[in-house]
Structure 1
Amino acid sequence: MDMTVGMVFLLWSMNVFINAVVLGKSSCSGAAAVCGSVTIPYPFGIEPGCYIDDSFAIDCNNTLGSLRPFLRRLDLEVLDISLEGTLRVNYPMSSLCPKSGTEITPSVSLASSPFVFSKLRNIFVAMGCGNVAYLLSTDVSNSSLISIYGLIGGCMSVCEKGTIRSNGSSCNGINCCKTTIPSDLDVFTTIIRSMRGASFERTEDCKYAFLVDQKWFEENLTSHFEVQQMSHVPVVLNWQINANLSSLIMGSKSSHSTCQFANRSSSLGNMSSTFTCSCNSGFKGNPYLVDGCQDIDECANLEACSFYDLQYPCVNVLGGYYCDPVSDPKSRNKIIIIGISTGITGLLFLFIGGWWSYKVVKKRKNIKRKEKFFKRNGGLLLQQQLSSSEVAVEKNTKLFNSKDLEKATDNFNVNRILGQGGQGTVYKGMLIDGKIVAVKKSKVIDEGKLEEFVNEVVILSQINHRNVVKLLGCCLETEVPLLVYEFISNGTLSQYLYDQNEEFPATWNMRLRIATEVAGALFYLHSAASTPIFHRDIKTTNILLDDKYRAKVADFGTSRSIAVDQTHLTTVVQGTFGYLDPEYFQSSQYTEKSDVYSFGVVLVELLTGEKVISSTRTKECRSLATYLIHSMEENNLFDIIDARVMKDAKQEEIIAVANLAKMCLNLNRKERPTMKEVANQLEAIQTLHLKTPNVQQNYEEIEYVRTEMHEQWDDVSTSTMSSADGGIASSSGSRPLLSF
């Protein structure tokens, strides 16, 4: 039994296929059939075998004395058919006439057919006084089901005396309203109701609701009386062929056509695959037939080759055409002129294109150049170190753009130079937001020194202290690396000491405060920072003063961070002569006590106002550190103290600071105090200075001090100074400040 059914299905399929192939040879593939005034093209047809499927079968009936085509399965009169996938049919209207009490709601379901109502071409219209019309997505016409089945459209028209619409007016809600319909609509029901409380309702008027071709409605229907005489109005349907029939088309369609497939949903929620075909550009005709798409003769249009006042011969080719000006001798001169102007225009475009290409290539080269500099300047190493979980980096450290920094420094103008050092040149700049910054441009360096630059960035990114210069960011996409710092306005401590400032003289109070701030910053670096840091180049030129003359430790180019359990670093000796720890110089082992030694030299500078190295001093005392120790051993301390300090400071303060400096300069690093001890001692001295106003000393008192110096070293101790409220309190294990 199953075999018999299979054979029957196979024979039926072969017959359908043979019929489709025969279309290419029979009269069906020639001129389309005609019924009355309507042309019936394939895949529609009248005779058996001349349509692709029963859904496209047309019956040509004699109705009211003339031949009219009807869709066989839907019994809808066909008004015209377009191979672009549309056809117009006469579709019944719904009406409600209160006088007769009848409501007519005819509906033709397109479900399970290749047709749907066109959303783009149709509108839903309700006409009549006080009319409320509903459009339901169902073929059930029972009005009680409105609440069950979802509304898909509807509108309401209010009353106005006279005709429904006058010529030229719009359907705007007075006696007439309209709305759109949803896509893929294949079945619907219309329900008409009278509006409650309508002021001008005329009960004798009928009310109408219908789907209609929008273009026909706007161009033809102008009067209510016309509607009363109608039972059907034109409606546009979209049609597509089921994909299951594609084999019947693909073997017999035109070679100059293209078919497109799509998915379509039905009212039942089912999806089906469909397709439509169209002639290619330059062709026209029926794409569903062999050789159905014929070449368009574009040359039939006299303006096809008309340019300005020239008319060139037109040559038609398959699927297109071209203009042949050479064969027209009358136009040669004009052609030459046009050719020359076109050539000039072409050269202009070529020039513009070449310039644009040059800019693009230059931009790409610049990007690659910046990438090359970024790698060469240690960008990858910096990223690696900053991303390390062991490094706590400030979130506001920024990567600056090279153009922004060039603009900020006026292309690194020499007039913007703030200072120069061993690591590079510092420029004053102003960012786009108006912020003043200091931009450090490193010297041209080899890859062996890149680690120093990267090291400075990493270290400064970890530091957050009021007496340490803040790093704002860096730029690595330039030939040499750039660092961006906060701008410190009052220069270096060296300038402050040796270039006398009459407006803000270097008083003892200022010097003592600066020393205390620097000591606190170094204590923070050694002990309080997340990773202990050795500065390795403490000197007065690396101590900056801000607008309030507060100290800011700067220049971390040779600094090193160490593990918590490390005690020293073994490095190539680096630093500034006169500040270098002698033990570091001999052993190449740098410890936190090496920074203490350098700070001791700074203390001596603050006391004496003398430079670190001076050829005017004796040979054995050219070093300022040696000069202090020698003077103290010879009981001549006050001979080398700066006159301003002698004027402002008390003897005990000078002796205490000198003794602290001597302890820092001890040749045995183990005997030196820590920066914590130094900071505590200086804070105590500063507190004593502020709480005990200085009585002006005269030079006779100073001479007395000189002669009795040795006795004073023996008599004065830290404990006596600590007896004053807030006096000096040495930390446990530290030596008295006033003993040698």
Structure 2
Amino acid sequence: MVNVSCIGVGCCQTPIPNGIKDFTVSVKHSNVSEFNPCSFAFVVEEKAYKFSTLDLQNMQDKRAFPLVLDWAVGKQTCKDAKKNTAGYACKATNSNCFNSKNGPGYLCNCFSGYQGNPYLFDGCQDIDECKTRNHECADNACVNHMGSYSCSCPMGYQGDGWRNGSSCTPVIPKPSNSKNIIIALCISISLLVLLLGGSSVLLGLKRRKLIKLQEKYFQQNGGLMLQEHILNHGRSMETTKIFSNDELKKATNNYDESRVLGKGGYGTVYKGVLSDNKDVAIKKSKICDKSQIKQFINEVILLTQINHRNVVKLIGCCLETEVPLLVYEFITNGTLSDHIHDRSRASSLSWERRLKIAIEIARALAYLHSETSMPIIHRDVKSTNILLDDNHTAKVADFGASRLIALDQIEITTLVQGTLGYLDPEYFQTGQLTEKSDVYSFGVVLAELLTGEEAISSNRPESYKNLAMYFGSTLKEDHLLHILEDHIVNEGNIEPIKEVANLAKACLRLRGEDRPTMMEVAMELEGLRIMEKHPWGKDNQTTEETEYLLNTTTLSLNIDIGAGSSVSVVSGHDSMINQLVKPLDDGQ
């Protein structure tokens, strides 16, 4: 038994385990001298009391020993107590919870750097170490932060700011040579002026080079010829516009990918917004034939004057690029193909609406073949090249493969162009393109409108993958009703549908000379619609009355399409720029 250690004869100690609720002290001893039969036991806080052998001699004189009273909140752990937000005792924002070491319950403490009562909402407040001087910073170098502090020398002093480091000392400015400063400043300003001036000169040269290049392209692409024509024809060409390259760049956000409407093998179509907030479609092709410039300009001049409600209108062009850009008005409701072959849209195309669309397409093609100053053959009539506006009005579009026909010509010999499933079989055999080739393609579109089938489909038997063959064979076997779109047929329109089917069959005849003209097709379709609107004429109308009705229809049609009766055309169309600007494949 020695000082500080109560282990041995006459003295022993033992710790009280954590978590006990009560205890009893029992002292037993043996071989105790008669002069000192007393025993003592007491509870004392371990860190507050140091054993001394002298305590054994005057134990009776000691009235008290240091003792610490431990306490805790409740009987739950911190984890369980936090679940009950209302009863959770650690209210202060900057406080934490810890479990009691001596039994159940928990206690609260303020975070390091904070002081106060953690059991109150605002009980833990920041300790300003700089004011209490409870820090290790050099003089004037202490910077207080919430919950902490840092040491940094104030402005004009140098050092690390820590008391045990390099203390803050004033910065002594080095003597400067004002003459050298002025020289250095002048050199810097001169270099800056030279740099700005050089950049300005380079930008100017680059801009001038770009302007000259645009002027070169403008002349190469027939810009002067087009300008002269516009000036000579005044009001008749007032709708034709020659756009600058900068205008179209701005309209398409410099031809950003997000503006792409479609891409084909020969170029891209972008959506643009002009300065007057008008939406347009801009075709940017890749291939250009310089030998066809004059023909290209003539076609642009002619096509910009077309003003038919069912033909999308060419607004103008840009000639300042290597390949001319063509600008059209924009149509938002997609292609006829989208509406026919998308099952969710097809149901909205009733028989009446399909007949109306067929009539409008026929009107447009008849107008192009017969009513323009030079007949125009489209050469790529298909459902993806028929656009619909918000009222489901048909607009014939994409004249990228079309050609003008001189008045003394009836056919064009050309390379095979167009789309499989719509191509005139006679076109493959002779290499000669006539207006009847458009009639054949229109016949395929009519079959699509009636059946909802695609022009080429692997879902049909091998011998009937081609819709024209499948449609003709079905009519021959008198099975038309088996292939019609279900929702367009009712008891009242079976006969008109059969009439349209027979008209499609006539358009799909193998020999072009056996097919009707587009004008005849438009007249017959108009007559059918009039008959549907006036059912009183179906049963008892005489042959004489029918002929009169058709003659009346012919007159009405000539007035409508010959005058190009629409003033508000909603889209634009391409020229037959087959040799100069190649067509896209996306139907835009």
Q: Residue 237 of structure 2: SS of its match in structure 1? A: coil
Distance 1:384 1:560, change over 3 A: farther
- Which residue of structure 1 lines up, in the alignment, with residue 419 of structure 2? 576
Structure 1 433/375 Cα, relative in aligned 2: closer, same or farther at 3 Å? Answer: same
The CA distance in 2 between the partners of 1:616 and 1:442, in whole Å, is 34
Indicate yes or no: 2:392 matched with 1:549: yes
Runs of at least 5 residues in structure 2 that lack an aligned partner in the other structure: 1-176, 556-588
Aligned equivalents of 1:718 and 1:385: distance in 2? Answer: 57
Count how many residue pairs are aligned between Structure 1 and Structure 2. Answer: 379
1:515 and 2:319 are equivalent in the alignment = no
Which residue of structure 2 aligns with residue 370 of structure 1?
A: 214
Amino acid at match of 2:368: L
**Cα distance change of structure 1 residues 451 and 596 upon mapping to structure 2, 3 Å threshold:** farther
Deviates more, 1:676-685 or 1:388-397: 388-397
| Secondary structure of the corresponding residue to residue 677 of structure 1 | helix
Where 2:489 maps in the other structure, the secondary structure is: helix
Aligned mates of 2:267, 2:295 — CA distance in 1: 12
Q: Could you tell me which residue of structure 1 aligns to residue 376 of structure 2?
A: 533
Q: Does residue 316 of structure 2 align to residue 473 of structure 1?
A: yes
Q: What is the deviation of 1:720?
A: 6.4
Partner of 1:587: 430
Q: Which has the higher contact order (CA 8 A, sep 6+)?
A: 2
Is 1:462 aligned to residue 305 of structure 2?
yes
- The residue that corresponds to 1:675 in the other structure is 518
Once the two structures are TM-superposed, the CA of residue 393 in structure 1 deviates from its matched residue by 6.8
User: Given the superposition, is the C-alpha separation of residues 725 and 592 from structure 1 closer, same or farther in structure 2, using an over 3 Å criterion?
Assistant: closer
Q: Distance between the aligned counterparts of 1:425 and 1:506, measured in 2?
A: 30
Which secondary structure state, in structure 2, belongs to the residue aligned with residue 544 of structure 1?
Answer: strand
Q: Give the Cα–Cα distance (whole angstroms) in 1 for the partners of residues 540 and 236 of structure 2.
A: 45
Partners of 2:407 and 2:383 lie apart in 1 by 28
Cα distance in 1, alignment partners of residues 252 and 272 from structure 2: 5
How much does 1:343 deviate?
Answer: 3.6
In the aligned structure 2, how far is the partner of 1:463 from the partner of 1:522? 12
Q: Is the 8 A contact 2:366 2:519 kept in 1?
A: yes
TM-score w.r.t. length of structure 2 = 0.58
Match of 1:499 among 303, 326, 342: 342
Cα distance change of structure 1 residues 493 and 693 upon mapping to structure 2, 3 Å threshold: farther
Partner of 2:256: 413
- C-alpha displacement at 1:402, in angstroms? 2.0
Alpha-carbon separation, structure 1, partners of 2:356 and 2:373 = 26
Shift of 1:418: 2.4
Q: Which residue of 1 aligns with 2:496?
A: 653
Deviation at 1:499, TM superposition (A): 1.3
Alignment of 1:302-321 (within 5 A): none
Match of 2:455 among 612, 624, 633: 612
1:85-128 deviation per Cα after TM superposition (whole angstroms, max 9, x unaligned): xxxxxxxxxxxxxxxxxxxxxxxxxxxxxxxxxxxxxxxxxxxx
Once the two structures are aligned, what percentage of the paired residues are identical? 50
Determine the C-alpha separation between the residues in 1 that align with 2:471 and 2:228. Answer: 43
Change (3 A) 1:496 1:720: farther
Task: For residue 440 of structure 1, give the secondary structure of its aligned residue in structure 2.
Answer: strand
The one-letter amino acid paired with 1:349 is: V
In structure 2, the CA distance between the partners of 1:446 and 1:389, relative to structure 1 (3 Å rule), is same
Q: Which of 376, 383, 388 is the aligned partner of 2:226?
A: 383
Cα deviation digits, residues 279-314 of structure 1 (max 9, x gap): xxxxxxxxxxxxxxxxxxxxxxxxxxxxxxxxxxxx
Task: Work out which of the two has the higher radius of gyration on C-alpha atoms and give 1 or 2.
Answer: 1
Give the SS at the match of 2:481. helix
SS at 1:465's partner residue? Answer: coil
Residue of structure 1 in register with 2:278 after alignment:
435
Instruction: Pick closer, same or farther for the CA change 1:680–1:717 going to 2, 3 Å.
Output: farther
1:338–1:413 distance in 2 versus 1, CA, 3 Å: closer
Task: Indicate the larger mover: 576-585 or 646-655.
Answer: 646-655
AA at the equivalent of 2:494: Q
1:567 pairs, out of 405, 410, 431, with 410
Return closer, same or farther for 1:601/1:722 CA change in 2, 3 Å cut-off: farther
Amino acid at match of 1:351: L
Q: Specify the SS of the correspondent of 1:418.
A: strand
Change over 3 Å in CA distance of 1:449–1:641 after alignment to 2: farther
The one-letter code of the counterpart of 1:590 is: L
Q: 1:643 aligns with which of 481, 486, 504?
A: 486
1:619 corresponds to which letter in structure 2? E
The answer (yes or no) to whether the contact 1:684–1:727 under 8 Å persists in 2 is yes
CA deviation after TM superposition for structure 1 residue 646, in Å: 1.8
Q: Give the deviation of 1:399 after TM superposition.
A: 1.3
User: 2: CA distance between counterparts of 1:645 and 1:529?
Assistant: 35
Gaps of 5+ in 1: 1-332, 696-715, 733-740
User: Deviation of residue 623 (structure 1)?
Assistant: 1.0
What is residue 686 of structure 1 aligned with on the other side?
Answer: 529
Please state how far the C-alpha of 1:604 moved relative to its aligned partner: 0.7
Q: Distance in 2 between matches of 1:375 and 1:337?
A: 57
- Contact 1:508/1:648 (<8 A) preserved: no
Q: Give 1:382 deviation, angstroms.
A: 6.6
Partner SS for 1:512:
helix
SS at match of 1:429: strand
SS at the partner of 2:262?
Answer: strand
TM-fit CA distance, 1:446: 5.8
CA distance in 2, matches of 1:564, 1:517: 25
Would the alpha carbon gap of residues 543 and 455 (structure 1) be closer, same or farther in structure 2, given more than 3 Å must change? farther
Cα distance in 1 between the residues matched to 2:434 and 2:234: 21
The amino acid of 1:672's aligned partner reads R
Q: Give CA-to-partner distance per residue, 1:499-534, whole Å, 9 cap, x none.
A: 134597011111100110110111111111121111
Amino acid of the structure 2 residue aligned with 1:556: F
Q: Is 1:596–1:664's contact at 8 Å kept on the other side of the alignment?
A: yes
In the TM superposition, what is the alpha-carbon distance from 1:391 to its structure 2 partner?
13
Instruction: Give the 3 Å change call, closer, same or farther, for CA 551–717 of structure 1 in structure 2.
Output: farther
Give me the whole-angstrom Cα distance separating, in 1, the residues matched to 2:294 and 2:337: 28
Amino acid at match of 2:211: I
Q: Are residues 624 and 502 of structure 1, via their aligned partners in 2, closer, same or farther at CA, if it must alter by over 3 Å?
A: closer
The 1:482–1:451 alpha-carbon spacing in structure 2 relative to 1, beyond 3 Å, is same
Match of 1:360 in 2: 204
3-state secondary structure, aligned to 1:520: helix
Residues 419, 426 of structure 1: 8 Å contact kept: yes
Q: Which residue of 2 aligns with 1:624?
A: 467
Shift of 1:481: 3.1
Distance (Å, rounded) in 2 between the aligned partners of 1:627 and 1:458: 41
Q: Which moved more, 1:531-540 or 1:451-460?
A: 451-460
Distance 1:546 1:432 in 2: 23
The structural deviation recorded for 1:619 is: 2.3
Q: Which residue in 2 is equivalent to 1:247?
A: none
Give me the whole-angstrom Cα distance separating, in 1, the residues matched to 2:468 and 2:544. 25
- 1:690 CA drift (Å): 2.4
CA shift in 2, pair 1:418/1:500, >3 Å? farther
| C-alpha contact 1:518 1:553 (8 A) present in aligned 2 | yes
Which residue of 191, 209, 227 corresponds with 1:347?
Answer: 191
Deviations 1:547-575 (A, max 9, x none): 21101111111111112221111111211
**Kept in 1: contact 2:230–2:237 (CA 8 A):** no
